[in-house]
């Protein structure tokens, strides 16, 4: 453990110093290549302008190179792999795409992802908005916000382990250490293997991501609510508007763009959900989602790079339009401010 911490700290320190050294050296080289002699004002001015044009590209160069190597190249390679067979050596054309359309497991994963998309972003955004509004009205609101935001600091795997104890099942007649089964048996019910109940187990897994992401939605929406002019609220109160009317007709319309950004951000996360399903059920009992299906086809049972590539492209095709819209919305807001 100690060696891992030392290694992580060492990587961070070396990385920061390497970046600083690169920026310093590149700027020095630029000054040598494009000097600004005091005796030639015209040359100095021209070189200063050239430096101003080149310097941003020098500083952005490493980032653009890494993006090309780790983002663009994998996308192109994945598209090519999707037309090849299991080992990636034999060209099979559209066979992998035909398999995806006809495979029951793939359709089940699409259905499960659709369920996650319907429930998780809506629940996180709604709960985050309600908590943001309510905590602004109580004196211990900051403490409440800290408690709601705290799960954001936990990894998906860590959160899944915590919730495994909540859903834990012991046989009938045994002491139930799982919180949910303890409550059920206290009221006379029978304990259940909650994560093995088809269809409903998806919602039990969704609860974990909702628990984690509600804090994110709350923080963003709370900041947006504080940007609403007090005059509009006061005018609504004077006109006799109820708290419910103020919330839906005054507050929500004014922060609608922020709500949309929060919703789409969580939607992108949901489309890539992997850790929770892997930790809780490993995709069993009809809980498989696209990311886990891709992992299974890539690394289990001998692997099939062609089929896993097709699934990866489906995930990318679902995420990309939402991400583009999110970026455009953020740019539009920044231009408006």
Query: Where in the chain are the domains?
Result: 2-81, 95-336
| Closest C-alpha among 159, 147, 158 to residue 207 | 159
Q: Can you give the pLDDT of all 337 residues of the chain as single tens digits?
A: 677 788 888 888 888 888 888 888 888 888 888 887 777 777 778 878 888 888 888 888 888 888 888 888 888 888 888 898 887 788 888 888 998 888 888 899 999 999 998 999 999 999 988 888 888 777 777 888 888 888 888 888 888 888 888 888 877 677 777 788 888 888 877 888 888 888 888 999 999 999 999 988 888 888 888 887 878 877 877 877 777 777 777 888 888 888 888 888 888 888 888 888 888 888 888 888 888 888 888 887 667 888 888 998 988 888 888 878 877 777 776 665 5
Q: How many residues does the chain have?
A: 337
pTM strictly above 0.85? no
* Joined tokens for residue 17: 């110093």
Nearest-Å Rg of the Cα atoms of the chain is 27
| Closest C-alpha among 145, 105, 122 to residue 262 | 122
Nearest 5°: the CA angle 175, 176, 179 is 150
- Please, are residues 176 and 168 in contact by the beta-carbon 8 Å criterion? yes
Integer Cα distance of 207 and 167 in angstroms:
11
* Joined tokens for residue 153: 């600091």
DSSP type of residue 247: I
Q: Which residue has the tokens 């489906």?
A: 314
* Joined tokens for residue 208: 């974990």
Integer Cα distance of 81 and 98 in angstroms:
15
Integer Cα distance of 279 and 293 in angstroms:
14
Q: Looking at the DSSP assignment, which residues form a beta bridge with residue 91?
A: 84
- CATH, range 95-336: 1.10.3720.10
| Closest C-alpha among 154, 156, 182, 157 to residue 168 | 182
């Amino acid at each position: 453990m100690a060696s891992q911490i030392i290694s992580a700290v060492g990587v961070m320190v070396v990385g920061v110093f390497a970046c600083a050294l690169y920026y310093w050296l590149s700027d020095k080289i630029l000054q040598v290549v494009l000097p600004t002699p005091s005796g030639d004002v015209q040359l100095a001015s021209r070189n200063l302008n050239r430096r101003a044009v080149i310097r941003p590209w020098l500083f952005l160069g490493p980032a653009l190179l890494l993006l090309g190597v780790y983002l663009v190249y994998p996308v192109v390679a994945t598209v090519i792999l999707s037309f090849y067979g299991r080992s990636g050596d034999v060209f099979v054309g559209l066979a992998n795409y035909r398999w995806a359309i006809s495979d029951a497991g793939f359709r089940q994963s699409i259905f499960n992802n659709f369920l996650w998309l319907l429930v998780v972003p809506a629940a996180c955004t709604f709960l985050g908005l309600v908590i943001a509004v309510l905590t602004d009205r109580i004196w211990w609101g900051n403490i409440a916000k800290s408690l709601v935001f705290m799960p954001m600091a936990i990894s998906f795997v860590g959160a899944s382990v915590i919730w495994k104890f909540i859903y834990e099942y012991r046989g009938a007649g045994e002491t139930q250490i799982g919180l949910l089964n303890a409550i059920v048996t206290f009221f006379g019910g029978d304990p259940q293997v909650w994560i093995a109940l088809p269809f409903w187990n998806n919602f039990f897994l969704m609860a974990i991501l909702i628990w984690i992401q509600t804090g994110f939605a709350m923080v963003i929406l709370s900041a947006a609510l504080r940007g609403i002019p007090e005059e509009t609220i006061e005018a609504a109160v004077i006109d006799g508007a109820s708290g419910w009317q103020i919330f839906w007709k005054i507050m929500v319309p004014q922060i609608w763009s922020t709500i949309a950004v929060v919703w789409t951000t969580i939607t992108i996360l949901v489309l890539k959900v992997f850790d929770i399903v892997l930790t809780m059920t490993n995709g069993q009992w009809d809980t498989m989602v696209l990311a886990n299906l891709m992992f299974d086809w890539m690394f289990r049972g001998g692997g099939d790079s062609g089929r896993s590539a097709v699934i990866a492209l489906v995930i990318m095709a679902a995420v990309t339009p939402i991400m583009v819209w999110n970026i455009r919305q953020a740019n539009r807001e920044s231009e408006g401010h």
